[in-house]
């Protein structure tokens, strides 16, 4: 047996069922394993590596920063993080941002804004947050409490109180959960792990209206669907709706662990000195990563590229729905796409790996496609060719 797999399985807590592949290097949209086998990557490290592997400009910026200064703590200032913050604010339409080490921590920050927003208004800390069924927001106790999938929560109760769940894309069900204690509504603009469901325009604008009517914070989790994944920097920009709070991570650092929660208007002034903190969070290395990522997006007009190739990917996936009776439906937005099959997809994924293609799931019957954003049409064709063999 492969020694790396053996060691990892011996020593890691068994929280993952990993695929039996040891990845060693990457080039563009391809990964290479320790036996030299090449894989076309349609997962991008779960939507992280947007720029592809070995982007020269990205790598150089990180190397330069490593040789200069990696960490300072947030008791001091550093230039890369200030530059990156300015750029993030410009592209998100938010006013203030706090950078974290992960998506989960970004959610924690958003939850703290919501609770304190209610506290400032009423003098009580017990504000209720409405989250959605089938959502995914992370694995820490706060993020888990707003994740609408009982299978993740079951063994770890009791959950943080004063969380209500509504049905995604069902405005009446959200309205039903609102009472005088409600302070915020949290949802993914496009649900990822929960099966890949984009919000409908009516639902998102309806939720926004409810938030305005009842003085609630609209908090959008863009950890997976943000950072250009759907052809706009953030998915809410495709709907013309601006939230009060947004969370980001995954492609934000393109491999350097970094997340963010950002706020505008009444939500931007809620947290004050002493209310939140992080030791690692947004050290100069993470700052340099976000800065260069946003620079590359702009200089390469990456959002335009995503718009073009994603409509091509949609068309190709729609052909599979048309031609294969076992492929029931395509869902998704931009380069965040899914195919639902009439059976579990584990065999398809294993066969794809054998043929040199990496795809992942979003539920037992759902194939999820999250390629690097730099993917080209010819590589989409290559993926479709392999997928057809797997489906056959």
Ligand X SMILES: *Cc1c(COP(=O)(O)O)cnc(C)c1O
Map the footprint of ligand X across residues 103-142, applying CB under 6 A. 103-104, 107, 136-138
Beta carbons of 195 and 338 less than 8 angstroms apart: yes
Spatial distance between the Cα atoms of 110 and 194, rounded to a whole number of angstroms? 20
Stretch that binds ligand X, among 29-37, 63-71, 98-106, 346-354 (CB under 6 A): 98-106
* Binds ligand X by CB under 6 A, chosen from 65, 78, 81, 102: 102
**198 lies in the site for ligand X, by CB under 6 A:** no
Q: Is 298 annotated as a binding residue?
A: no
Eight-class DSSP state of 383: H
Question: Helix (H) and strand (E) counts for the chain?
Answer: 14, 17
Q: Cα torsion for 250, 255, 261, 263, to the nearest 10°? A: -90
Q: Is 104 annotated as a binding residue?
A: yes
Cα 337 to the chain's mean position, in Å?
13
CA angle 228, 231, 233 (to 5 degrees): 40
Closest CA to 294 of 235, 234, 369: 234
Beta carbons of 188 and 221 less than 8 angstroms apart: yes
**Please, what is the minimum distance in Å from the beta carbon of residue 279 to ligand X?**
17
**Please, what is the minimum distance in Å from the beta carbon of residue 388 to ligand X?**
28
Cα 87 to the chain's mean position, in Å?
19
**353 lies in the site for ligand X, by CB under 6 A:** no
Of 221 and 291, the one with the shorter C-beta distance to ligand X is 221
Give the x/- contact pattern for ligand X in 137-176, rule: CB under 6 A: xx--------------------------------------
Beta carbons of 254 and 58 less than 8 angstroms apart: yes
Sign of the CA dihedral running 154, 170, 116, 237: positive
Of 249 and 335, the one with the shorter C-beta distance to ligand X is 249
* Binds ligand X by CB under 6 A, chosen from 186, 196, 218, 249: 249
**Please, what is the minimum distance in Å from the beta carbon of residue 96 to ligand X?**
20
Of 192 and 334, the one with the shorter C-beta distance to ligand X is 192
Beta carbons of 341 and 326 less than 8 angstroms apart: yes
Stretch that binds ligand X, among 50-58, 188-196, 310-318, 378-386 (CB under 6 A): 188-196
Q: Is 223 annotated as a binding residue?
A: yes
Question: Which residues participate in the annotated binding site?
Answer: 103-104, 136, 139, 221-224, 278-279
Contact residues for ligand X, defined by CB under 6 A: 102-104, 107, 136-138, 188, 192-193, 221, 223-224, 249-250, 259
């Amino acid at each position: 047996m492969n020694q790396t797999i053996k060691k990892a399985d011996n020593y890691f807590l068994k929280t993952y069922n990993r695929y039996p592949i040891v990845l060693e290097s990457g080039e563009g949209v391809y990964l290479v394993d320790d036996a030299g086998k090449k894989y076309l990557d349609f997962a991008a490290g779960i939507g992280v590596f947007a720029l592809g592997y070995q982007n020269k400009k990205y790598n150089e910026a990180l190397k330069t920063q490593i040789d200069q200064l990696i960490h300072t703590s947030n008791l001091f200032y550093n230039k890369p993080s200030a530059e990156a913050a300015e750029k993030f604010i410009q592209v998100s339409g938010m006013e203030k941002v706090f950078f974290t080490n992960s998506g989960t921590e970004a959610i924690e920050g958003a939850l703290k804004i919501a609770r304190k927003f209610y506290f400032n208004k009423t003098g009580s800390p017990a504000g209720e947050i409405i989250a959605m069924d089938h959502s995914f927001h992370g694995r820490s106790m706060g993020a888990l409490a707003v994740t609408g999938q009982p299978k993740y929560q079951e063994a770890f109760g009791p959950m943080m109180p004063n969380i209500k769940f509504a049905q995604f894309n069902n405005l009446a069900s959200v309205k039903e959960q609102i009472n005088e204690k409600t302070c915020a509504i949290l949802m993914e603009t496009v649900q990822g792990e929960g099966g890949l469901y984009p919000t409908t325009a009516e639902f998102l604008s309806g939720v926004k209206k409810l938030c305005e009517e009842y003085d609630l914070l609209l908090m959008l989790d863009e950890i997976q669907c943000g950072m250009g994944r759907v052809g706009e920097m953030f998915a809410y920009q495709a709907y013309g709706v601006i939230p009060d709070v947004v969370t980001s991570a995954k492609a934000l650092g393109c491999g350097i662990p970094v997340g963010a929660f950002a706020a505008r208007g009444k939500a931007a002034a809620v947290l004050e000195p002493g209310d939140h903190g992080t030791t690692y969070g947004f050290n100069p290395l993470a700052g340099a990563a976000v800065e260069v990522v946003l620079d590359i997006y702009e200089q390469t007009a990456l959002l335009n590229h995503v718009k073009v190739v994603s409509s091509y990917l949609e068309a190709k996936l729609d052909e599979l729905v048309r031609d294969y009776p076992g492929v029931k439906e395509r869902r998704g937005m931009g380069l965040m796409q899914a195919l639902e099959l009439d059976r579990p997809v584990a065999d398809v994924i294993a066969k794809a790996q054998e043929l040199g293609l990496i795809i992942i799931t979003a539920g037992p019957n759902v194939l999820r496609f999250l390629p690097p954003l730099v993917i080209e049409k010819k590589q989409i064709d290559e993926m479709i060719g392999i997928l057809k063999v797997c489906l056959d």
